[in-house]
Amino acid sequence: MKKLLSISLILLVMFGLVACSGEDEKATEESKPKEVFKIGAIPDQNAADLNRSMDQIADYLAEKTDLEVEYVPSVDYAALVTAFERGEIHLAWFGGLTSVQAMSLVDGSEAIAQRPRDEEFHSVFIAQKGLNLKGIEDIKGLSFTFGSESSTSGHLMPRYYLMENGIDPEKDFDGEPNYSGSHDKTYKLVEAGTFQTGALNEAVWEGAVEEGLVDLNKVDVFYTTPSYYDYNWTINTVDDVFGKGTKDKVKEALLSMGADQQEMLDIFETDKFIETKNENYAAIEKVAKQLGIIK
């Protein structure tokens, strides 16, 4: 019986090898399937909601552009940037920093659309209500959480304004700052009492307040940063893959979203998208370089 066991083991190994090589042949024989236009978004808030809305947007883009469009979820910011660099994502909803990273990695990629609010974006600093914080200086000595380390409104700009106000995030908090991973999680952690203070994206915060997702008796805003450019749709060099004019078609489709698409726009806390350009993000790039995040 032991012999049977070892023979079957050897067979299994052989099967695996054969299966591998068999697959190779198949892959070469198959005619190349129609290229799918893949879209992605940084996972900066509730993943379930984001997946649902992005699937709808994929359907909408497919209808408008006659392309086969698919949404590819990703677990962290850097993974999406890498996929974009590799041309596996053709259109991505990036934050300011990730779009700057993407634009520097892919020549010819372009920021094409953003929300009206992204021209004047803010981060909010929140704290537990009982602490009675008045200004950003009061944050010293308390525990603090950023969002994702790759987030503009959850890390880059809050860090920048902390340092502008003479606070060293690595030294002046109670313990090292945490990186929660997403804006949702930041306010939930502060609300739950896990951290005393945190910084997040203003749009997500306002959405949470509007929908009653956050208990204002427990946590509130005590400081809002000056404005900066943030989120945008960055498009890859798609004209090379899908034919000339694809970029314009996609851009047109995004810019023409309106009341009929309100359901899918809700996740972005907006009612339309407007035009933008790469130059708008020069300031973010400068800050990122200053903080040593981009070299």
Q: Residues interacting with another protein, by CB under 8 A? A: 1-2, 4-6, 8-9, 11-13, 15-17, 19-20, 23-24, 27-28, 43, 46-48, 74-79, 81-83, 85-88, 101, 105, 128, 143, 148-150, 174-179, 181-182, 184-185, 188-189, 192-196, 293-295
Please report how close the Cβ of residue 266 comes to another protein at its closest, in angstroms.
Answer: 17
Contact 155, 291 (CB under 8 A): no
Measured CA to CA, the distance from residue 44 to residue 34 in angstroms comes to 31
Please report how close the Cβ of residue 157 comes to another protein at its closest, in angstroms.
Answer: 16
Contact 199, 220 (CB under 8 A): no
Please report how close the Cβ of residue 72 comes to another protein at its closest, in angstroms.
Answer: 8
According to DSSP H, which parts of the chain are helical?
2-29, 47-65, 77-85, 96-105, 157-164, 183-192, 202-210, 239-242, 246-255, 262-265, 282-290
| Cβ distance to another protein smaller for residue 48 or 259 | 48
| Cβ distance to another protein smaller for residue 116 or 141 | 141
| Cβ distance to another protein smaller for residue 110 or 184 | 184
Measured CA to CA, the distance from residue 163 to residue 166 in angstroms comes to 5
Measured CA to CA, the distance from residue 127 to residue 114 in angstroms comes to 29
Contact 151, 43 (CB under 8 A): no
Please report how close the Cβ of residue 190 comes to another protein at its closest, in angstroms.
Answer: 9
| Cβ distance to another protein smaller for residue 75 or 282 | 75
Please report how close the Cβ of residue 58 comes to another protein at its closest, in angstroms.
Answer: 18
